[in-house]
Amino acid sequence: MNDKTQIRLTAAEMSTLWTQYINDTLSCCVGKYFLEKVEDDEVRPIITFTLNVANRNLSTMKDLFNKEDFPIPLGFTEQDVNPKAPRLFSDTFVLMYLRQMSILAMAASSAALGVVTRKDVVDFHKSVLTAGVKLQDLTRDLMLKQGTYVRPPFLPIPDKVDFVEKQQFLTGFFGPKRALTSTEVTHLFLNIQTNSIGKALITGLAQVAEREDIKQYLLRGKQLSTKHVKIFGNFLIKEDLPAPMSWETAITDCTAKVFSDKLILFHVLGMIAAGVGNYGMAMAASPRRDIAAQYASLIPEISFYAEDGANLMIKHGWMEEPPQAEDRDKLITE
């Protein structure tokens, strides 16, 4: 029987492995710092779990890359983190942060499993998905135990099955508006929550960033997050529904160098990319026109913000090039 792992890597397999490798090097840096600073004995094993998973993933991917003579990405190294720096975030925030990272890991690995075909790569992404689910369980269970898990709003259970009879179900710009659907409430709640966590993360990272242009970029991101939280929150407030809490109180007064500016900027860009995806899903799932239009207006705003961040990465020589297709016209003319 032929060895199926001898099949060349497809573009999808290259891209998912390359991206996963860089993200796991970032996770190692962040995890080492969190592990050095954690005080809660219940949070410590969860940080250790994430660190072990990231290191295991890196080892597996190195073997895959070496077998394919694929250059191993640089990503992030010990030069990008100072584990001995003072504490920047509370253990409660670290737990919430890790929960958010598990959501991103599950989404990325699920997407990868839809496009990869080679058995060893499929098996790898399955293991990433399994670890992401495990991390979600660990963080959720501990947050429920400690009373820090914020549930989405409760809604009344319908008394019967019903069908939409009027076009008014879709309206929202003028005249009376129907109540929010459970799906719309869920997406609004989650996007408030992710923006609140992102705002706190950006605020803390801005405190420890060194370059002035990076600091200003992060402050701009903080303002955008504040604006988006207010916009989404207003939809819930009008329905007398609660919005998630803010996390600014989880940040200490640390201003020492914790992470390199390169790691800080890359991390923020990764969060922005996830935000664009969240807004796209929310827009597709929101039939009420005013809500869908609001998401549509905010996506370009954060997309331009992400582009400015990418330009900063290029300016400072920090952006690694992902695998690319051959430029046939260039090869012909050389």
Residues 131 and 24 in one domain: yes
Place of tokens 């207006």: 297
**The residue type at 57:** N
Q: For 70-128, how does the pLDDT look when each residue is reduced to its tens digit (9 = 90+)?
A: 999 999 999 999 999 999 999 999 999 999 999 999 999 999 999 999 999 999 999 99
Residues 20 and 81 in one domain: yes
The tally of domains found in the chain comes to: 2
User: Domain range spanning residue 254?
Assistant: 177-315
pTM of the model: 0.91
Residues 107 and 231 in one domain: no
CATH number, domain of 181, equals 1.20.1260.10
Which residues have a Cβ under 8 Å from the Cβ of 17 and sit 6 or more positions away? 9, 61, 64, 65, 121, 124
What's the CA gap between 315 and 265, in Å, rounded? 12
Per-residue pLDDT band at 152 (split at 50, 70, 90): confident
Per-residue pLDDT band at 1 (split at 50, 70, 90): very low
What's the CA gap between 267 and 260, in Å, rounded? 11
Residue 169 located in a structural domain: no
255-259, long-range: CB within 8 Å, 24+ apart, which pairs?
Answer: 255/207, 255/208, 256/82, 256/85, 256/86, 256/208, 257/82, 257/85, 257/208, 257/210, 258/33, 258/81, 258/82, 258/85, 258/88, 258/208, 259/29, 259/30, 259/33, 259/80, 259/81, 259/82, 259/205, 259/208
Residue 325 located in a structural domain: no
Q: How far is CA 324 from the centre of its chain?
A: 24
